[in-house]
A and B are shown apart, each in its own frame.
Chain A
């Protein structure tokens, strides 16, 4: 154990923690402002915002301070390190650095996307001088509207922290961004004809501490102080990046990665970042339907649910079997609700795992110039696009022993084995083909719970419009067994219902649908999922098998 003194406060640092002064101070609850330093990127110590006084506490108790200010990012915190971040000397240096940074920075905060979450604003407010002594014209550098399909650069707002340049060199490996020119005239730019279009490009917008790099998707859409953030998980692939869903008045505006060393680290891919658009698609299913001979007989939720329940019960007591497809896009709670309900109706019920979409191969970053991955891996976009295969499988194997693949269920359905099937969708890219859907053409009752139309709808007798991941709450388990909570951020379109509520009412449970209750039930029933009740689930998630090593990004 090492003890570090931060502004007189003692803080303990673990033996294997390699922290710099900024991180050590953060442990003690002291903020050391910084621009160029980022925990996942190399240290350049160039913004000079994190200057602090540093010294050493000798064994005899005396403290020897270094005469010069040193950058906190570059200085390791060791046993006996003394950090002073609130002295007049430090405050003067910060004030000077902020004045320098603001010299040529346009004060266009009213039209800047970053305003409200801008480190230049925050630090100027906390540590700056409040007025500029520049009596000369500012340097004006032309904006670069196109540096990537999703990214625009307001060159004049840039403070040259070079985080974006280092990101493209160290994390994506694509190295599109660079510094051109010199001194006060230098700018971030791309090499002509090589825009920032790598699969991780959107991260440069997040790591930009000011409003220089902006997302074209989010540009001028919302003032950030109107947005409400909900901690959630990206359902784009089995990496399960921790994210925040930023919404206002039931409209999602953006997803941002939420640092989680257990899941993905600090970043997320563009596929996930911009992959929530289907939530607001005008194709969404918004009306429950019961269809008799292809005619809609009712669009009422209560009647539809009752009819669906009757169909299930009828099949359970009949000779032909009852079957269900549990999509790997479901949460663990939803899978449990449906699976246990059907099993309680009929212990013979066939439960299968929905199709797990695999797109190509896992994509590892950084990549070299030839596109080959370089060790160590810093980020992975997984080929397995279903977010919760692990979780649904755990439920299925508890309920049925062996997990039946989707193809097998299709085969049995075509053979006329089932009178009622309950199908859950959830894959926004589509999960069933016309040909596969034909398997259900002769099934008496086809109950489809999904939020987007799919070929199977033509055979559906019951349509239950469900919610997307921003409208639901529940647990998903990523590729390495990390269980995380997705949370409801917005209300779905009128007529749709979150899946938990649909299934809760279908199973005629009493009271309001509560995932917490379900998790307790699951943890008690399924040993593999017993960790679901742990409080960490709400934060960075909980590992179902803690013996697995922690590797961010891999």
Chain B
């Protein structure tokens, strides 16, 4: 779809794109007053009809989430914006926040209007210093322009956005972990029910949305649901539970490619298209061996699965966990999958919050097993053990509170199932090549 015009990224290459002046010059906030005078329920219905699904990873329909709030709640109701973008390989929110913060703020205002919230908390990962400064400046500009604060644009709607910088933990990106962290507690995800829409931040109804999702809300209101539905992949008629994958999506491409980048494309492009057309192909003239479809917790596509459509349903059809954050990481054919998997497991083990037993112990155990394999003391039975451990972790078997454990288990399942011969070769060759002295060193 070479003719696709970027929407979310339409302004990012302009000079001064982060200022309110330039945003308003491009038509931003022009119809905000009109939208704020609509009934909140109507805004929700528009978002619901658009089929917008959360961009944060799980792909839950956004409008539907908003309807879960208790009716006629006396308030307060909160919106929490998840900008704790910590899935490895993901950097789309960072572009949105650094280059076009007002697009996000307008989305926040519209979402808050829809859910009748007068306070929004933006949970920003600590490492995004530039995003913090840009957003802070943008929020000040809005207050000065009467777009935030009391009685926005004379509509009687009040809204404050509170910028909160996290302290650097992957688990703070899980919605209830984020809420706990916002409350000043250890970011241990909460048990559900109650879901945040019923009892969330400070025990009040709370909606947690991703940055990109809220940016989409702005454009859905301005351009309409028909426009949004004209982009992307309609529902699979053979699967009644598939709500479709509509709209533009920011794909982050990194790893062994010539030109790592973040591009906006309609949902449903293939991994191959992303690598070849947008990232300049695999580096050094090599071939892709494996591709992460949406952040490492989603698993791996093998080289035979590169034509998988990267929409909400596509990765699942080839055994991955889902689309995730659409962060595509390319692994070239000179790289050992054992090392790739080891790196994934090390990350997950480091980031497991330690609340649920299977995740706390399982992630660390898998890392230890891979450490041992890499040190030349592996056995082929270890692969079955890894699969068994991965199989008993996660909310899919029901053994954990949040999805981190699934995300830790999936790369293991995919890597071993899809690349098992390589793992077996690795174990055998390492064993013979390593000296007994090295083994002793490795053991200590």
Binding site for B on A (CB under 8 A): 43-49, 51, 68-71, 74, 92-93, 96-97, 100-101, 103-104, 133-136, 139, 159-160, 179, 181-186
Contacts and interface: CB of A to CB of B under 8 A. Distances in A.
A183 B364 contact: yes
A48 B399 contact: yes
Contact of A136 (B355, B356, B372, B398): B372
A43 to B, nearest CB: 7
Contacts of B354: 160, 179, 181-186
Interface in B362-379: 362-365, 368-369, 371-372, 377
B360 A160 contact: yes
Nearest to A73: B191
Nearest to B361: A100
B39 interface: no
B358 A74 contact: no
A525 to B, nearest CB: 56
A184 B191 contact: no
A428 B371 CA distance: 61
Given A182-B354, A183-B352, A96 B392 contact: yes
Contacts of A71: 191
Contacts of A51: 398-399
B358 A183 contact: no
B397 A69 contact: yes
A186 B356 CA distance: 12
A181 B364 CA distance: 14
Contacts of B363: 183-184
What secondary structure prevails in chain A residues at the interface with B? loop
Given A100-B365, A183-B349, A69 B398 contact: yes
13 contacts: A44-B355, A45-B191, A68-B396, A70-B398, A74-B191, A97-B358, A100-B361, A136-B369, A136-B371, A160-B360, A182-B351, A182-B354, A183-B363
A69 B382 CA distance: 26
Contacts of B349: 183-184
B371 A101 contact: no
B399 A45 contact: no
Contacts of B352: 182-184
Contact of B356 (A48, A92, A104, A181): A48
Contacts of B357: 46-49, 97, 100-101, 159-160
Q: Considering the complex of A and B, which 8 residue pairs feature the smallest CB-CB distances, nearest first? A: A68-B398, A184-B364, A69-B398, A100-B361, A96-B392, A136-B368, A183-B352, A186-B354
A47 B361 CA distance: 11
Interface of B: 169, 186, 188, 191, 349-358, 360-365, 368-369, 371-372, 377, 382, 385, 392, 395-401
Contacts of B385: 133
A56 to B, nearest CB: 15
B388 to A, nearest CB: 8
Given A97-B357, A179-B186, 16 more contacts: A44-B191, A46-B355, A48-B357, A69-B399, A93-B397, A93-B398, A96-B392, A100-B362, A103-B361, A104-B361, A136-B368, A136-B369, A139-B364, A181-B354, A184-B361, A186-B360
Given A133-B385, A136-B371, A183 B399 contact: no
Nearest to B350: A183
Contacts of A104: 361
Contact of A100 (B191, B358, B377, B398): B358
A188 to B, nearest CB: 11
A181 B355 CA distance: 11
A48 B354 CA distance: 12
Nearest to B191: A45
A90 to B, nearest CB: 10
Nearest to B381: A133
A54 to B, nearest CB: 10
Contacts of B355: 44, 46, 160
A468 B191 CA distance: 48
Contacts of A183: 349-354, 360, 363-364
A242 to B, nearest CB: 31
Contacts of A69: 397-399
A135 B365 CA distance: 10
Contacts of A184: 349, 352, 354, 360-361, 363-364
Nearest to A66: B398
Contacts of B356: 46-48
Contacts of B368: 134, 136
A96 B358 contact: yes
A508 B169 CA distance: 77
Contacts of A45: 191, 401
Contacts of B382: 135
A184 B405 CA distance: 13
Contacts of A133: 385
Contacts of A74: 191
Nearest to B189: A46
A92 B401 contact: no
Contact of B361 (A44, A46, A101, A182): A101
Contacts of B365: 100, 103, 134, 136
Contacts of B353: 182-183
A68 B396 CA distance: 7
Most B-side CB within 10 Å, residue of A97, A135, A186: A135
A44 B352 CA distance: 16
B135 to A, nearest CB: 27
A159 B360 CA distance: 10
